[in-house]
Amino acid sequence: MRFTVSSNDLLKALTAVAGVVPSKATMPILECILFEAEDGALRLSATDLEISIVERLPIQLELQNGKEGARRVAVPARRLLETLRALPDLPVQFSADESFNVTLTTDQGHYKMVGFDGADYPALPELDEAHSLSVDAALLRRAIQKTAFAVSKDTLRPAMMGIFFQVQPEEGRVVATDGHRLVRLRLRELVSETPLEFIVPEKATSLVAKLAAQLDGTCTIRVDERHVAFEMGPVRIISRLIDEVYPNYEAVIPVENDRRLVVDRDAFLSAVKRVGLYASSTTNQVRLTLEPDHVEVAAEDIERASEAYERVPCAYDGEPMVIGFNAGYLTEVLGNVDSDEVVLEFSSPNRAGVVMPHEQAEGEDLLMLIMPVMLNTYA
Backbone angles phi, psi at 182, to 5 degrees: -140, 140
Q: What is the separation of C-alpha 309 from the centre of its chain, rounded to a whole number of angstroms?
A: 34
Distance of alpha carbon 65 from alpha carbon 42, whole angstroms: 20
The pLDDT, as a whole number, for residue 378 is 41
pLDDT tens-digit map of 54-108: 999 998 888 666 565 568 999 999 999 999 999 999 999 999 988 899 999 999 8
What's the predicted TM-score (pTM) here?
0.91
pLDDT tens-digit map of 299-320: 998 888 899 999 999 999 989 9
Spell out the residues 6+ positions from residue 117 whose beta carbon is closer than 8 angstroms to its own. 70, 72, 73, 74, 100
| DSSP at 67 | B
Given a cut of 90, whether residue 136 has pLDDT beyond it is yes
Across the beta sheet with 259-264, the strand order is 196-201, 162-167, 172-177, 181-187, 364-370, 353-357, 341-346, 259-264, 306-316, 294-301, 285-290, 321-326
Q: What is the separation of C-alpha 365 from the centre of its chain, rounded to a whole number of angstroms?
A: 20
Q: Yes or no: say if 221 and 228 are a contact pair by the CB < 8 Å rule.
A: yes
Distance of alpha carbon 279 from alpha carbon 46, whole angstroms: 44
Helix and strand element counts for the chain (H, E)? 6, 25
